[in-house]
Chain A
Amino acid sequence: GAVVSQHPSRVICKSGTSVKIECRSLDFQATTMFWYRQFPKQSLMLMATSNEGSKATYEQGVEKDKFLINHASLTLSTLTVTSAHPEDSSFYICSATPHYGYTFGSGTRLTVV
């Protein structure tokens, strides 16, 4: 149990376009989800905490207008990278906390060309 589905797994987009990444909790309700970013050969860095029905909480240095987070239901959080640029190319991964432990999505590899 406690599966988080993340989609898409890979996306290539042109510079200046927007990309939406979805994170769904399949068998539990997630009032809170977390979005992380991982650059090549680096660790995971928390970007923001997504709260169902309210505004996301962004970590210092993360532009809220660039990384739009919507958590409109208890099972879905979306991260939209707006006006993507090559420096936004990274591995994005979401996480949720069922009543026990943490569970992660399989990640999205974003390449901006």
Chain B
Amino acid sequence: SQQGEEDPQALSIQEGENATMNCSYKTSINNLQWYRQNSGRGLVHLILIRSNEREKHSGRLRVTLDTSKKSSSLLITASRAADTASYFCATDSNSGYALNFGKGTSLLVTP
């Protein structure tokens, strides 16, 4: 069953601005991951944060995890037009189990 919920569903910003997407989930998790998907294409893994971690950075990406609130955020700094895509959070309750995907945020970055 799908348990991740992202907000906003759609986000439109200009190049150079920061984009923040949030994800909430319902049950306890092992890991939380963020993926990117360009229109009609496959998934690109962005970052994984473990349940015992609170914050993680990778390049222009910053992910936070608050297990007490069952929520995570993905921040993309200094956005570029090429960041235009859909972003999904995904959780697993145990290692090797299927991932539960959120509904996704559609990000549009205009030049």
Q: Is A49 an interface residue (CB 8 A)?
A: yes
Distance A49 CA – B98 CA, assembled complex (angstroms): 8
Contact call A43/B2, Cβ cutoff below 8 A? yes
Task: Determine if B104 and A106 form an interchain contact, defined as CB atoms under 8 angstroms apart.
Answer: no
Tally B residues with Cβ within 8 Å of A.
21
User: How far is A93 from B104 in the complex, measured between Cα atoms in Å?
Assistant: 16
Interface 0/1 of A76-113, CB less than 8 Å to B: 00000000000000010101010001101111010000
What separation, in Å, do the CA atoms of A2 and B101 have in the docked complex?
21
> Is the Cβ of B45 less than 8 Å from the Cβ of A101?
yes
In whole angstroms, what is the CA distance A45 to B98 when docked? 10
Instruction: Confirm or deny: B42 has a beta carbon within 8 angstroms of a beta carbon on chain A.
Output: yes
Produce 1/0 per residue, B30-69, CB < 8 A to A.
0001000000111101001000000000000000000000
Which A residues touch B98, using CB under 8 A? Answer: 34, 46, 49, 95
Q: Is the interface of A mostly helix, strand, loop or mixed?
A: strand
Given contacts A34-B98, A97-B96, contact A45 B43 (CB under 8 A): no
Interface 1/0s, chain B 89-111, versus A by CB < 8 A?
00010011011111110100000
Task: Contacts A43-B2, A45-B2, A102-B33 given; indicate if A32 touches B96 (C-beta within 8 A).
Answer: yes
- The reply to whether A42 and B103 contact each other, CB–CB distance below 8 Å, is yes
8 A Cβ contacts from A5-44 to B: 32, 34, 36, 41-44
| Interface pairs (14), CB distance under 8 Å | A34-B99, A43-B2, A43-B88, A43-B104, A45-B101, A59-B1, A91-B40, A93-B43, A97-B95, A101-B45, A104-B43, A104-B45, A106-B42, A107-B41
Closest 6 CB pairs of A and B: A106-B42, A44-B101, A107-B42, A34-B98, A43-B101, A43-B103
A44-B43, A97-B96, A102-B92 known; 9 new pairs, CB 8 Å cut-off, are A41-B106, A43-B101, A46-B98, A46-B99, A101-B45, A102-B33, A102-B99, A106-B42, A107-B42
